[in-house]
A and B are shown apart, each in its own frame.
Chain A
Amino acid sequence: MDDGGEDVVPVDIERPEGLRVGVPWERPTPGMSFAGLVQTTRLLLFTPTDAFGLMRVNGTMTAPLVYLVVLGTVGTFFGLLWQSWARAMLGSVAGGNLQTLAVANSYGVMSFVIAPFVILLMAVVATAVHHLFLLLLGGAPRPPDVTMRVVCYAWGASYVWMLIPACGGLVATVWGAAMTIAGLRQAQGVPGGRAAAAVVVPYLIALCGLLALWTVMATTMLDSLP
């Protein structure tokens, strides 16, 4: 039962496609190819409002999920590569041995193997959180799969920044959040303030969790030193 003790008769809403022709990755040409990947990523990174204005809001979820997993896996590979490199540099400065470095790197390899699954599951959790906050802040006119498409493309494109050593993760996080805001505004058709709050408020709540994660990573890295 909802507010006011009234009988609630659920109705399904038609999902209009409108003039959304899709980002290049979703179109028949170039489609899910390297050219499509590059064009879509460029479009998303530098003109996110246009990109999310073109993005399809119905149809199968294959294209956005594959986009996220492909770029997420590549980005994670580079992120782990820079971590390993930093660990080796720190070890050489502090006189670390190869065994501890090998153990730390084996964790990195395991992280890379499970990365596609973890990225996918994290995107589902993020979708649920952003959609819940949209509902709490006044409503989400389109279904949760539209929020998921936005998260997939925003996160996927932002993983490209992981190619930058040292600060890539931070840039990717901030850029990804900004793109998610632009995407929710365009795709869900909600005001910018609501879209921003739906993205920023969970980030603020999760900040402690992220700080805890960074503490774990820093502790693990220091533990690997002699």
Chain B
Amino acid sequence: MRSRSVAGYRLGSVEIALVGAVALAGIAVARSHALWRDRFQVVCPAWAVLGVPCPTCGATRAVVAVMQGELSVALAWNPLAALLGVGAVISVPFVALVLGGRMTAPRVPTSLGTVSRTAIIAVFVANWLYLLRYFGG
């Protein structure tokens, strides 16, 4: 099998710490949902006006559901956002391990291969198609 070099950069400790801070902030906001849910009941304008959901429709509800341990509900609202929510929870211990020097920082590539790019775009489009079916009906 042929080896190929892939250029990339390791994330620095400041960047890792900031990623951890974003994850913790997201978790804290979602966990405090009970405090603001009555005040911020918002219908997506694209859905209200055009009858078409935007790619982020249901994302807030999905992340909040993840933080409340209701994974199936979260996946129903917005599968991609639900996975991001799960990722935020999982990332916290990894950030702690990297900052504590027990694990090397992840590497960010300088470019993505065609397969990787296509896969990411396909996941995004599939998620939107699901939302069109879920909210469109």
Contact = CB atoms under 8 A, between A and B. Distances in A.
Contacts, number: 114
A193 interface: no
Interface of B: 1-12, 14-15, 18-19, 21-22, 25, 39-40, 42, 44-46, 54-57, 107-117, 120-121
Return the 3 tightest CB-CB contacts between A and B, nearest first: A139-B111, A3-B113, A208-B54
Given A11-B5, A12-B9, A143-B9, A136 B45 contact: no
B107 A124 contact: no
Given A2-B115, A143-B9, A13 B110 contact: yes
Which of A4, A117, A124, A216 gathers most chain B CB within 10 Å?
Answer: A124
Interface of A: 2-13, 15, 60-61, 117, 120-121, 124-125, 128, 131-132, 135-136, 138-145, 148, 205-209, 211-212, 215-216, 220
Contact of A139 (B9, B18, B112): B112
Nearest to A219: B42
Q: SS class of chain A's interface: helix, strand, loop or mixed?
A: helix
Contacts of A12: 8-10
Contact of A3 (B110, B114, B121): B114
Q: SS class of chain B's interface: helix, strand, loop or mixed?
A: mixed
Given A3-B114, A13-B110, A216-B40, A144 B11 contact: yes
A13 B45 contact: no
Given A208-B44, A215-B42, A215-B45, A141 B120 contact: no
A144 B15 CA distance: 9
21 contacts: A2-B113, A2-B116, A4-B115, A6-B2, A8-B4, A11-B8, A12-B9, A60-B14, A61-B14, A125-B22, A131-B108, A135-B112, A143-B11, A143-B108, A145-B15, A207-B54, A208-B45, A208-B57, A215-B42, A215-B45, A216-B42
Contacts of A132: 120
A208 to B, nearest CB: 4
A209 B42 CA distance: 10
B3 A6 contact: yes
A5 B45 CA distance: 44
Contacts of A144: 9, 11, 15, 108
Nearest to B1: A7
A10 B109 CA distance: 9
Given A10-B107, A121-B18, 8 more contacts: A6-B4, A9-B4, A10-B6, A10-B8, A13-B8, A121-B22, A132-B120, A216-B42
A7 B112 contact: no
Nearest to B49: A211
Nearest to A65: B14
A120 B18 contact: yes
A140 B3 CA distance: 22
Contact of A121 (B21, B57, B117): B21
Nearest to B57: A208
B62 to A, nearest CB: 14
Given A145-B15, A215-B42, A124 B22 contact: yes
A205 to B, nearest CB: 6
Contacts of B120: 132, 136
